[in-house]
Structure 1
Amino acid sequence: MIYDFIVVGHGLAGAILAETLRSRGNKVLVIDEPKENSASRVAAGLLNPVAGKRFAKSWLVDTFIPAADAFYDTLEVRYGKQLYFHKLIYKIFSSIEEQNTWMAKSAGGNWSEYISATYTQSINQPDVDDPFGGIMIERGGFLHVYGMLDLLTEDLLQQNLLMPERFDISQLQLTEGGVKYKDIEAKHLVFCEGYQVINNPYFAWLPIQPTKGEVLEVQTEQNLSPECIYNKAVYVVPEGEGRFIIGATYDWRNPDEEATPQGAEELSERFRQILPQAFKITGHWAGIRPAVRDRRPLVGTHPEYMQLSVFNGMGSKGVLMAPYLSEHFADALAGQTELMPEIHISRYFSLYYDYIKHQNQQP
């Protein structure tokens, strides 16, 4: 059999792209080494339409959210299991200055679709430390990423469409009709390797910054409202019965996958600033995100080898971005549209030519 696509990597981005390509009738083979501490599997899967301290709408959020809702709804119907949880996000002001920044920002635009309330003082919810108030963000939530990946993985395995092994790039051959990997042929191959793309000789020139993130699971005697995610320097996702997921750290200096005492202490201290009470750590994980210098995804076909593409670089925004971008990329691969320039790897082609020049100068 000749496949239409080989997808290398089955984290969040690879899984959503593979599912999108399959839904269009393509024959898709996925190659992925099972790994419990991949960035996708340890992530809380947060979707937040308002970006950080800048109080700006996330890039293209009006486009991304409907596509994300439709994609996750379709999977939930297929598998008969809830995967995406629509939740309010209470963004707590850390200071009067931050409160003032929001008040000035909100005066200049229409936020009604995403902000349901602004509080200039505490909402007086028991055990929540919010003396400066905050904003209540609509249309957010979280995806059970590991649950979705498990379901899609089992589906692929049952149909013999997943090779659960490390991809050996030395076995890849570029052919006139596409690619050959061991004894498998395909018309096109897409790398969805996350930060591991830095070790890929075809795409190592892309400006990926491996960024470590650590996450805690804690147990307390209190139980915050399960209808709300809390955000103040870290996110706090209540999972019921006093259990919370807390994350995440950002560490680009030590991009390994080891959970550290320093990470646990940082997250614990941030948690105390939201919920100042005793708690017990019941889980601690670390993963590595594929961050990009301009905070835009890296999508597109190799500048020389048209059989090879990359779908990567969504960092902590994959839950929001991947459903729409996978459809957009599938359209581009089918010749039905041009990739939007903001995500196209062509913006970094100069790095590729520098990379090739350097490689040619090696003794």
Structure 2
Amino acid sequence: MKYDFIVVGHGIAGAILSYTLRKRGQRVLVVDEPRPSAASRVAAGLLNPVAGKRFAKSWLADEFIPAADAFYDELEERFGQELFVHKPIYKIFSSVEEQNTWMAKSAGTNWNDYILATHTQSTGQPGIEDPHGGIMIGRGGYLQVAEMLDLLAEELLAQQLMLPERFEMEQLQLTRNGVRYKGEEAKHLVFCEGFQVVNNPYFRWLPIQPTKGEVLEVQTENFTPECIYNKAVYVVPVGGGRFKIGATYNWRQPDEEPSPAGQEELSERFSQITSQPFHVIHHWAGIRPAVRDRRPLAGTHPQYPQLSVFNGMGSKGVLMAPYLARQFAAALVGEGEVMPDVQISRYLSLYYDYIKEQNQQP
């Protein structure tokens, strides 16, 4: 058997899983069609320990963040290049009511590892619209996703461990000992194909909701790049007076075409953060693989043990993928288990409904 694993997809999930498997001594072949509009490449790569308007600590942040720090530090040492940029996140209160919500929330929770400061009035930063203050969040930052993916892909190509092409499902054969794809054989295949899993005949029963997200890159002056800003949208400094602004969430039009409405929405929300003029340099759109219960999907097919899936991280891949890839890689080689919250077995009833429906078709 030439390969232990074939991994389909080289976005954040597929890249981190395939690297983790290789670190375990597994021989891995990656199949991926390079696409500039892939969600992983469009995203700003934000890692935020505090989620949403309710000021909740991100799910399993205490486990995910140390694993992410260690993983990206390892890649930086491996390639001699900065990939993860550590920056505080200034979450701006949108109202007095939101400020009060935070003050009540923070009184009953241990936030010492994540909250650097609470401001109940404007910080006075030039160009920043924060009349109600906000909180400064530590242990956040952003991953330079495209750079990481390119470095890992170059390494795979140099070792002839990557097929830079679209995966052709009709070329996949399931064998007694594993899988065969275009003459290449492996013991196991893992699908990490993002939202395109909705077209996968083996895993389309999973409750993936393709969600369009649009991102702008703008140029502006007199706007400090010392931190990331968050108020309905994130504003991530990328150097030279340029900032990435995102992202929209659109379940109704899951296409990869930037829209005038998306640009208008992001521009309006950025204008609520800064009084400085700006102009749009780039406008991208991508599709995230969101899951009904907002938990990732990892596990082996209930009928075909040579097939697995690692998917559904939505906008949290930078935060969650290193920890979950380590768990899943261990499970795939028979040396551990994936936490129940992400196992696809939680949706087995959907699989049985899907099989029943298929059997009833003429």
Equivalent position amino acid for 2:92 in 1: I
Instruction: Give 1:239 deviation, angstroms.
Output: 2.3
Q: Match for residue 87 of structure 1?
A: 87
TM-superposition CA deviations, 1:305-349 (whole Å, max 9, x none): 000000000000000000000000011112222221100000001
Q: Match for residue 49 of structure 1?
A: 49
The CA distance in 2 between the partners of 1:154 and 1:241, in whole Å, is 27
What is the correspondence of 1:294-313 to structure 2 with a 5 Å cutoff? 294-313=293-312
What is the correspondence of 1:37-186 to structure 2 with a 5 Å cutoff? 37-186=37-186
What is the percentage of aligned positions where both structures have the same residue? 75
The CA distance in 1 between the partners of 2:183 and 2:57, in whole Å, is 47
Q: Match for residue 188 of structure 2?
A: 188
The CA distance in 2 between the partners of 1:5 and 1:232, in whole Å, is 42
**CA contact under 8 A between 1:223 and 1:240: conserved in structure 2?**
no
The CA distance in 2 between the partners of 1:324 and 1:198, in whole Å, is 25
Number of residue-to-residue matches in the alignment: 362
What is the correspondence of 1:1-363 to structure 2 with a 5 Å cutoff? 2-224=2-224, 226-363=225-362
Equivalent position amino acid for 1:164 in 2: P
Instruction: Give 1:220 deviation, angstroms.
Output: 1.2
Q: Alpha carbons of 1:240 and 1:164: their partners in 2 closer, same or farther (altered >3 Å)?
A: closer
Instruction: Give 1:110 deviation, angstroms.
Output: 1.2
The CA distance in 2 between the partners of 1:99 and 1:241, in whole Å, is 32
TM-superposition CA deviations, 1:12-69 (whole Å, max 9, x none): 1000000000011100000001101100001000000001111111111110111101
The CA distance in 2 between the partners of 1:189 and 1:281, in whole Å, is 41
SS in 2 for 1:290: strand
TM-superposition CA deviations, 1:89-127 (whole Å, max 9, x none): 000000111001000000101111100111110000010
Equivalent position amino acid for 1:342 in 2: D
The CA distance in 1 between the partners of 2:108 and 2:34, in whole Å, is 48
Equivalent position amino acid for 1:124 in 2: G
TM-superposition CA deviations, 1:121-161 (whole Å, max 9, x none): 00000100000000000000000000000101111111100
SS in 1 for 2:282: strand
Equivalent position amino acid for 1:153 in 2: A
Instruction: Give 1:278 deviation, angstroms.
Output: 1.4
TM-superposition CA deviations, 1:271-309 (whole Å, max 9, x none): 000012211100000000000010000000000100000
Instruction: Give 1:182 deviation, angstroms.
Output: 1.7
TM-score (norm 2): 0.99
The CA distance in 1 between the partners of 2:305 and 2:275, in whole Å, is 55
Structure 1: stretches of 5+ with no match in the other structure: none
Deviates more, 1:275-284 or 1:298-307: 275-284
CA RMSD across the alignment: 0.8
Instruction: Give 1:240 deviation, angstroms.
Output: 3.0
The CA distance in 1 between the partners of 2:197 and 2:289, in whole Å, is 9
Instruction: Give 1:228 deviation, angstroms.
Output: 0.4
Instruction: Give 1:3 deviation, angstroms.
Output: 0.3
The CA distance in 2 between the partners of 1:331 and 1:246, in whole Å, is 36
**CA contact under 8 A between 2:223 and 2:276: conserved in structure 1?**
no
The CA distance in 1 between the partners of 2:116 and 2:314, in whole Å, is 27
The CA distance in 1 between the partners of 2:229 and 2:244, in whole Å, is 11
**CA contact under 8 A between 1:223 and 1:243: conserved in structure 2?**
no
**CA contact under 8 A between 1:213 and 1:250: conserved in structure 2?**
yes
Instruction: Give 1:223 deviation, angstroms.
Output: 3.1
Instruction: Give 1:174 deviation, angstroms.
Output: 0.8
**CA contact under 8 A between 1:223 and 1:241: conserved in structure 2?**
no
The CA distance in 1 between the partners of 2:159 and 2:333, in whole Å, is 24
Instruction: Give 1:79 deviation, angstroms.
Output: 0.7
TM-score (norm 1): 0.99
Equivalent position amino acid for 1:135 in 2: I
